[in-house]
Amino acid sequence: MTTYYLNPIGLAASPQGENGAAVRLAGGMTYAGRFALIGREGGKVVSRALYGVRELEAALTSLPEAVRVQWDNLRRAPAPLQFGARTVRLDQPQVMGILNVTPDSFSDAGEFLDRPDVAQAHAAAMLEAGAAIVDIGGESTRPGAPAVWEGDELKRVLPIVERVAAMGAAISVDTRRPVVMEAAVAAGAHLFNDVSALRHDPRSMEFAAASGVPVVLMHAPGEGEDLHGGGSYADVVLDVFDWLAARRDAAVEAGVARERIVLDPGIGFGKSLADNLALMNALPLFHALGQPVLVGASRKRMIGALSGEAAANARLGGSIALAMKALDAGVQLLRVHDVAETVQALRVWRGLRDEALTDFGHLPS
């Protein structure tokens, strides 16, 4: 059986740039005028056809149902995420600021662990700088990091959730443990960001369905404690796409409302430098899954590998470059350490996109 993938390959800043023959990707500020329809059998690509928008629309009735579904998904605007009284719109990109309360975070070396006042001040600074969401995590997920007992994770996370909730912020909790999910939601969190995509504990799926709380499902190839293991791919982009589709479908089947599911291709998790670069280049394809897309590439190892082994806290330039790549691809959520700098880059990008809608060089009517 052939599996099909409809990949937007001709991106534009405005429909005028394609003489109107472009569609708005996922209700955002990126347009696509050309598409590659890829067919795969047994893990191998067996076909590739190129279409413009009008050619594709004319051919849809003769193409498989899966292609028509992906076409609809590519043009679907995701519903806003509801965070209590706060609404986070996804018709424009949003920034999620990272707040790690761990002793061994690769990026902040435990700066906020057991220092709730400092952590709260950092959260406030990120919100003031323009973060729409604060993502609080109590377990390092870097390669080789030791597992954390859920009691320790609760002790790290809950006091910060309570303080940030008192500020009226939209809060995500980065956890794969249902006990932490439930306690964090009770303390004021609004979303949980699960690096295991609800696989670590079967009770996580049950809680996700029963709680009504949005969830991020991230791709990681490993099982159990080692999420970075087993990263072998026939084609990393298409394999990750299929994996995320399967996890989305499993969540929906378990009772998680589809409009509450966000997908993350898992940059840096069980992937080589080449794998990560391929995924970043293929981000527009993931809109064909019909869910909001989150990308967390901030300060990742791939930046160091491409910049003379720069330390994690010296990867701002690379982080901004990857954020801009994600923005051009229409990604809705950027998970970052350097909020002020990323928001500034996003606002400049947004200004360029707004101006592109007026275009130039057209004949007068």
Determine which of 9-23, 111-125, 302-316, 344-358 has the lowest per-residue pLDDT on average. 111-125
Indicate which residues carry an active-site annotation. 300, 335
Domain ranges for the chain: 3-75, 81-353
Determine which of 22-31, 89-98, 103-112, 130-139 has the lowest per-residue pLDDT on average. 103-112
Q: Could you give the CA distance from residue 67 to residue 3 in angstroms, rounded to a whole number?
A: 9
Q: Could you give the CA distance from residue 217 to residue 17 in angstroms, rounded to a whole number?
A: 34
Determine which of 1-5, 148-152, 199-203, 232-236 has the lowest per-residue pLDDT on average. 148-152
| Confidence band, pLDDT 50/70/90 cuts, at residue 134 | very high
| Confidence band, pLDDT 50/70/90 cuts, at residue 108 | low
* Segment 125-143 mean pLDDT: 91
End-to-end, the C-alpha distance of the chain in Å comes to 50
Give the pLDDT of residue 143: 72
Residues 208, 254 contacting (CB under 8 angstroms): yes
Distances (CA, A) of 92 to 130, 189, 347: 13, 23, 11
CATH number of 81-353: 3.20.20.20
To which residue do tokens 């009735």 refer? 61
Helices 178-187 and 202-211 pack at an angle, to 10 degrees, of: 30
How far is it between the farthest Cα atoms of the chain? 68
Over residues 297-345, the pLDDT tens digits come to 999 999 999 999 999 999 999 999 999 999 999 999 999 999 999 999 9
Q: What percent of the chain has pLDDT over 90?
A: 81
Provide the residue type at 242 as one letter: D
Give the chain's radius of gyration (CA, Å): 20
Give the pLDDT of residue 23: 96
| Confidence band, pLDDT 50/70/90 cuts, at residue 69 | very high
Degrees (nearest 5) of the Cα angle 111, 116, 118?
55
Is pLDDT of 109 > 70? no
Residues 343, 95 contacting (CB under 8 angstroms): yes
Q: Write a three-state SS string for 161-183.
A: HHHHHHCCCCEEEECCCHHHHHH
Distances (CA, A) of 125 to 88, 271, 340: 19, 32, 9
Q: Locate 140 and state its tokens.
A: 């390092």
* Segment 22-37 mean pLDDT: 96
To which residue do tokens 């491409």 refer? 306
Q: Write a three-state SS string for the chain.
A: CCEEEEEEEEEECCHHHHCCCCEEHHHCCCEEEEEEEEEEECCEEEEEEEEEHHHHHHHHHHCCHHHHHHHHHHHCCCCCEEECCEEECCCCCEEEEEEECCCCCCCCCCCCCCCHHHHHHHHHHHHHHCCCEEEEECCCCCCCCCCCCHHHHHHHHHHHHHHHHHCCCCEEEECCCHHHHHHHHHHCCCEEEECCCCCCCHHHHHHHHHHCCCEEEECCCCCCCCCCCCCCCCCHHHHHHHHHHHHHHHHHHHCCCHHHEEEECCCCCCCCHHHHHHHHHCHHHHHHHCCCEEECCCCCHHHHHCCCCCCHHHCHHHHHHHHHHHHHCCCCEEEECCHHHHHHHHHHHHHHHHHHCCCCCCCCC
Residues 100, 313 contacting (CB under 8 angstroms): no
Q: For the chain, what is the mean pLDDT? A: 92
Q: Could you give the CA distance from residue 248 to residue 262 in angstroms, rounded to a whole number?
A: 9
